[in-house]
A and B are shown apart, each in its own frame.
Chain A
């Protein structure tokens, strides 16, 4: 449409001072797009490998684990990455549902809410892997 138009455009991202609310907004889109592509393919690969039999499941597992069953570097990067991304999208998604009701737009509250989503995702990720590691 107007992708190469010479018409004047309104002030965009570069004129604003960056704050937590902007970061969380962008993170919500990035984490959502990441899970929709990489996350969904991995989920379906896991399900299909499990349905395919012991051999196909072993092929799946070997990508993420050592022979002794412990996670290798790919397993840790993908595993911790996906949980952090999931918890961030989950928290900022709940924040969006609150904002949709018209609440939480006061400057201080809005900033606190944005910071809280990032605090939650980090704490939830650490807690998840600690519990998984203890078991």
Chain B
């Protein structure tokens, strides 16, 4: 709850200016992760072979490339939020800031690589 102006109280964002946004997004992505990871595990179980050609053919399908991209976005958002909480619990002073910035670089860098790889396979030559 805001403690200053009446408008601040209505918005209920407090001094962090964020309110429950972080907490709520963590829960929403937990829900989407549940479905997307179950899809991935069932997909792995229903695959006959894991050789290069058959996996490429499999991931060229829109029915695989799209959920795989959604999985990366959902999972990466979720772990970005989760690791932030872990860092904030155990790191203090300047190291906290450094770790939080490194976390952003790690998440965005790795996530972009994953999405590019999925797109390259999906849009690549048959």
Contact = CB atoms under 8 A, between A and B. Distances in A.
B88 to A, nearest CB: 11
Contacts, number: 78
B45 A132 contact: yes
Interface string A77-118: 000000100100010011011001000000000000000000
Nearest to B55: A50
Interface of A: 1-3, 29, 32-33, 35-36, 40-41, 43-44, 47-48, 50-52, 54, 57-58, 61, 69, 83, 86, 90, 93-94, 96-97, 100, 128, 131-132, 135
Nearest to A47: B117
Contacts of A93: 30, 33-34
Nearest to B89: A29
A58 B52 contact: yes
A1 B93 CA distance: 6
Contact of B79 (A35, A54, A135): A35
A124 to B, nearest CB: 9
Contact of B114 (A3, A47, A52, A135): A47
